Chain A
């Protein structure tokens, strides 16, 4: 078992990051699947991370409870933010959520007394165990797979395809969108809380625009055909930079090229590609 210990000592952060990134990918999947282009998930992750981390640093709240609160608070924020912003669609929604993300980042940066400002929060206890992450991923995946195969998933897909028609079928479209938005925020917050408790240190810039785009990339790359797509997207976006480590300075370049090629050949995401191959195999 010695090799395992060596492996874990070297790669534990990477493995745990895969887990939290999959959670983030699932969080963006929820909104992408009903056609909402939001980039607020990085901010929700940040709210969750700061909430959980501050509770661990300054209070005696048990770790799992602080994780839970780290999911509840972003969900509550989403519940307030959703009704006005979800009236928008397409790029306009993206812009509004982008602005919200910046507000959160700047807020975290300036409330120095609480958040440590630009210096961030240091010395967060490393409470996150691999089974915490594994359990969170399995639970989230189970939930979303169930949703996908049920009336809820069908309705979200229908909203994506034709909002007006769905509404006229007696579906409370705004309610469903808000549900997806809030659930996505909770998942992102959970990912943030878990992540903060194994990285030791967090700062506002981790939850800015870059992270928002990265999360979106996971969702789009994986595709909205199934929650499994989001899982693939999350894993791929996390591993790709590591696999390309040998390329040195060219790493981000090649990374970008690979993503572009994948999207070009499978615009509906990797998941759709796998289904396509499967169908071809079935025909032959």
Chain B
């Protein structure tokens, strides 16, 4: 579905990503893990057009994404959430979702000026559509609340609803479970599974290992800007390079007594 070929990104002299080639499969949940600063979010930024790769190409359903403006990438069917929640805090939940839904409804300045009957009908249609989307993440009853008043977990779910409003084929979730308690995480997992069952492909960046291992069919691991492993959760868990990236290299000379705590 989404294909990255030898993608690299430099910030000045700093090589943030080197020679990344991977394929996100159609249908299913794909995971991307790696220590802080490995370049995971940068990879999302490259895919969504917020950054341009220094080298390499990105293709989505046969279409080249490299060089497209972010809104064009979204219109190709890729939506995302942000690690540092970026909802529109001073707008209501319904408005948040409606902004993202705009394209399907094709607002033209002329149509907006038409007489009241069709105007009111259009407004009601919008409200109804927003409520349907908010219901998908369990926030339908708060449609008229200001987004800034939501709890942390709710804000993350709103961001997902907003991303869904763009009618994506592939959804990129950047640490969706960050800052959630375990009950919220479980609820989120259920929701993600439901979305996948509904025909959506999902690509998740997440630090919570239980979350990733429980959800993803395939996982890629990034470390210092390089892809060090890719496989099923079982393969990743036992991959020595991955364990090393997360826990550090075992030093054979350092014989600390009682070290078998892991």
Contact = CB atoms under 8 A, between A and B. Distances in A.
Contacts of A179: 109
27 contacts: A147-B109, A149-B123, A150-B112, A150-B123, A151-B126, A152-B109, A152-B112, A154-B102, A155-B102, A158-B95, A161-B89, A164-B70, A165-B86, A165-B87, A166-B88, A166-B99, A168-B71, A169-B102, A169-B162, A170-B71, A170-B74, A170-B166, A171-B102, A171-B103, A172-B69, A173-B71, A179-B109
The main secondary structure of chain B at its interface with chain A is: helix
Contact of A170 (B89, B103, B107): B103
B250 interface: no
Contacts of B119: 146
Going nearest first, the 5 A-B pairs with the smallest beta carbon separation are A170-B74, A151-B107, A169-B100, A165-B86, A158-B99
Nearest to A162: B86
B95 to A, nearest CB: 5
Nearest to A169: B100
Interface size classification for chain A: 20 to 34
Interface of B: 48, 50, 69-71, 74-75, 79-80, 82, 86-91, 95-96, 98-100, 102-103, 105, 107, 109, 112-113, 119, 122-123, 126, 162-163, 165-166
B167 to A, nearest CB: 9
A154 B70 contact: no
B107 A172 contact: no
B45 to A, nearest CB: 10
A170 B100 contact: yes
A173 B48 CA distance: 15
Contacts of A142: 113
Most buried by B among A146, A151, A152, A173: A151
B123 A165 contact: no
Contacts of B69: 167, 172
A168 B76 CA distance: 11
A155 B96 CA distance: 9
A174 to B, nearest CB: 8
A51 interface: no
Given A154-B91, A155-B102, A173-B71, A168 B50 contact: yes
